[in-house]
Amino acid sequence: MKHLRPINQKAERIEAFLTRAGAEPGGEAETGGATAQGADELDVVGLESRPPEGPHIPLGCSLVFSPGWEVDSTGGTAGLCQPVERDLFDCHLACFWPAHVPDQLNHSPDWTGKCASAQKDWRKLDLVFP
């Protein structure tokens, strides 16, 4: 780094991490992008870091699509999806409810345009801010 000098031990660790991840400068670490140097880094983690106790259900996810009868995971309508769950691939593709970000129906129809195969190309998915 040229313009910032790490002062404490944590700042040194941040700098070392950025150097290792090849993220300096250019912000690759910001988008979770991988480089050859960063290949051994766990730059992506699951939504649940503890042992999974079941499928991750986004906050307020509507599990049932039946027009006129959309319900949330508790069977009610109070907790339908809020715009706090972001960048969930499956929401983008499968969900009819246009509150998540990015949503396929209205605002980000081409979010997966560069992602022909999710298993191979998922790093090409970028962050989207509403």
- Residue of 87, 110, 121, 126 marked active site: 87
Smallest gap, in angstroms, from Cβ of residue 84 to another protein?
8
Of 66, 17, 9, the C-alpha closest to 38 is 17
- Cβ-based nearer residue to another protein, 17 or 97: 17
24 contributes a contact to another protein by CB under 8 A: yes
Question: Which of positions 25-54 make contact with another protein (CB under 8 A)?
Answer: 25-27, 29-30, 49-50
86 contributes a contact to another protein by CB under 8 A: yes
23 contributes a contact to another protein by CB under 8 A: yes
CB distance 6 to 15 below 8 Å: yes
Which member of 110, 116, 119, 120 binds another protein (CB under 8 A)?
A: 110
Q: Side chain identity at 120, as an amino acid letter? A: K
Q: Determine the distance from the C-alpha atom of residue 7 to the mean position of all C-alpha atoms in its chain, rounded to a whole number.
A: 31
- Residue labelled with tokens 């079941």: 54
CB distance 39 to 22 below 8 Å: no
In the residue annotation, 103 being an active-site residue is answered as no
